[in-house]
Amino acid sequence: DVARVPGTASTKSRFSLLTTKPVRGKLLRWNTKGHGWIRPEDPIQHPSATENDGDAWTAQRDVVGAVPAEGDAVTFIPYVDEANRLGAMSVQAAAEDQPVAPWRDPARRKKRRRHASEGDNDAASLPEESGSWRRQQQAS
């Protein structure tokens, strides 16, 4: 299981990748709420793929760049969420001459430090608690 990170969907959900290699498919539907369904070109071999006719659910936060139009060819990384539902992340328009962006491991992603004004004012997020501030204070 991998914790989701911003840009790859909700940070609260957990999921298991079915592959790190992009899969081709077609965006079947997209609604005004910002989510839709993708039909893979080749059926995904997983028990969760038997639901929803094998289509993978996706959301705006799972899309890289602009949302493709309904009927457009796309590439995506398939996953299964904690409720054992098939989903698609790293969704992008597929072009024959365009390389597919590889999936990035969230564990390798650097965490962005939050400023105290962004909420969650715990001591670890305040600039005064950083190591550089402590070193400056110890030096003076």
Antiparallel, parallel or unpaired: β 73-81 and 23-30: antiparallel
The reply to whether the predicted model has a pTM over 0.85 is no
Q: What are the counts of helices (DSSP H) followed by strands (DSSP E) for the chain?
A: 1, 7
The helix (run of H) or strand (run of E) holding residue 78 is strand 73-81
Q: Which domains does the chain have, with CATH numbers?
A: 2-103 (2.40.50.140), 110-140 (no CATH)
Q: Residue 119 has what pLDDT?
A: 55
Task: Give SS3 for 33.
Answer: coil
Q: Could you report the per-residue pLDDT of 83-123, keeping only the tens digit for each?
A: 889 999 999 998 765 554 555 555 555 555 555 555 555 54
